[in-house]
Amino acid sequence: MENWNGTSGFAQYSNFQVANEDLNYKILVNGFSGNVSYDAMDNDNGYFFSTYDRDNDADLAESCAETRHSGWWHKKCTRANLNGKYQFGWGKEERNILGALS
Interface residues with Ca ion (CB under 5 A) are 55, 57, 59, 63
Q: How far is CA 2 from CA 5, 56, 71, 84, 94, in A?
A: 8, 29, 21, 14, 10
DSSP character at residue 84: S
Shortest Cβ 71–Ca ion spacing (Å): 13
Q: Strand pairing partners for 11?
A: 34
Shortest Cβ 33–Ca ion spacing (Å): 31
Nearer to Ca ion, 3 or 70 (CB): 70
Shortest Cβ 59–Ca ion spacing (Å): 4
How many angstroms separate the CA atoms of 9 and 57, rounded?
Answer: 28
Nearer to Ca ion, 61 or 89 (CB): 61
Nearer to Ca ion, 42 or 59 (CB): 59
